[in-house]
Amino acid sequence: MYFIWGLFIVVLVACFLFMGFKTAKTYKGYYSLESNLDEAASMYFTQNPFSLEEGESMKVDINDLSDYVDSVDVKGDKCSGYVLITKKDGKNTYKTYLTCENYKTLKE
């Protein structure tokens, strides 16, 4: 009886690991695009300085970042969205929110 439960648990864990790795591989391009857009927004903000007060945020549409990134699509999946720039502890933080046909950034 313990052997059956043990085998069941091993199979269940293996299934979860497989699904997790497959999901990570599927969305790798989107995660990369988010990271690239964060960096692009940083360059954009440096070249187009805006005054942000502590705790204040502003949105930059990803189309405004076209000079800083190669494209805003992942394997033909065109994306829209924005980068939220927030001044926190005296530094700017950047968080990209994408909406694509096959992917959407989750809000924190």
Measured between alpha carbons, how far is 43 from 55 in angstroms, rounded to an integer?
20
pLDDT at residue 1 in the model: 73
pLDDT at residue 43 in the model: 92
pLDDT at residue 108 in the model: 63
Q: How distant, in Å, are the alpha carbons of 10, 21, 30, 78 from that of 48?
A: 54, 39, 26, 26
pLDDT, averaged per 10 consecutive residues of the chain (108 residues), comes to 67 52 66 93 87 91 90 88 93 93 84
Q: What is the pTM of this model?
A: 0.74
pLDDT at residue 21 in the model: 44
